[in-house]
Amino acid sequence: MLGTLSLASSLFEKRGYFAHWCARTWSRLILATTGVRVHVSGLEQLVPGRTYVFVSNHQSIYDIPILFWALPYQLRIIAKDSLGHFPFLGWHLRRTGHMLVDRSRPDRSKIFGWASRLTSAGLSLIVFPEGTRSRDGRVARFKGGSFYLALEAGLPVVPLSVVGSRHIMLKGRLATYPGDVRLVVHAPLDTTELAGTDPKAFGERIRQIVAPEAESDVDPHARA
């Protein structure tokens, strides 16, 4: 029902604000009905209404509803350009402000156009630079291409550590389990002077901020 409302709203409300309300409502319902409690810390470090690029580790499908509900910002995602060709899903992504990119050939002019639209509309992005979900909670290498837009456009980057979401829904399983998840919001990093920085090196810098908290519940014996 919320998906239908969201898609229909894109015919009239091009900024995607109502679609985002649908996404947050959907997220809240999923968390409440499956007994997932999210504990957030660090939000006071951010400026309400400002455009940020939120960079998170990825443990579970639940990370998306966790972030959409816990972060009081107009959030959009970066998705593969190929998803834009899917009926309904692609239409919805394109019409509600989500960013569809060809990661193998990033278009510099489109990047600056996107950055301008993000800031003028007060939108923020969510990026999962690992590219896949972690089975054991360890944070994999961050792919440099995920940071190209933030570095070139000078958008502030906010590292996020999601802790424990993998226990809610294990990778490869459909079953869900009630429990507590922590979301740690780290201090934003200013990138206005970092154009031309190696994205891979910057990605590793962000990973070093995210990993200690994200891996805080990893069994040290399993790490060996």
Which domains are present in the chain?
A: 2-223 (3.40.1130)
Q: How many CB atoms lie within 10 A of CB 195?
A: 10
Residue 186 tokens, joined: 């780290």
Q: Using pLDDT thresholds of 50, 70 and 90, give the confidence band for residue 122.
A: confident
Percent of the chain with pLDDT over 90: 43
Write the DSSP symbol of residue 217: T
Which residues 6+ apart lie within 8 Å of 37 measured at CB?
31, 179, 180, 181
CA 92 to chain centre: 18
Cα–Cα distance for residue pair 144/130, rounded to 1 Å: 10
pLDDT tens for each residue of 18-60: 888 888 998 999 999 999 999 999 999 999 989 999 999 999 9
**23 or 73: whose pLDDT is higher?**
73
Which residues 6+ apart lie within 8 Å of 44 measured at CB?
none
Angle 41-139-168 from CA coordinates, rounded to 5° = 65
Residue with tokens 């999210």: 38
Average pLDDT over the chain, rounded to an integer: 84
Helix (H) or strand (E) holding 23: helix 17-33
Q: What is the pLDDT of residue 161?
A: 97
- Show the beta-strand stretches assigned E in 21-141: 36-41, 53-56, 74-80, 99-101, 123-127
Q: Which residue stretches of 38-153 are H helix?
A: 63-70, 89-95, 108-121, 148-153
Q: How much is the pTM? A: 0.86
**105 or 20: whose pLDDT is higher?**
20
**126 or 7: whose pLDDT is higher?**
126
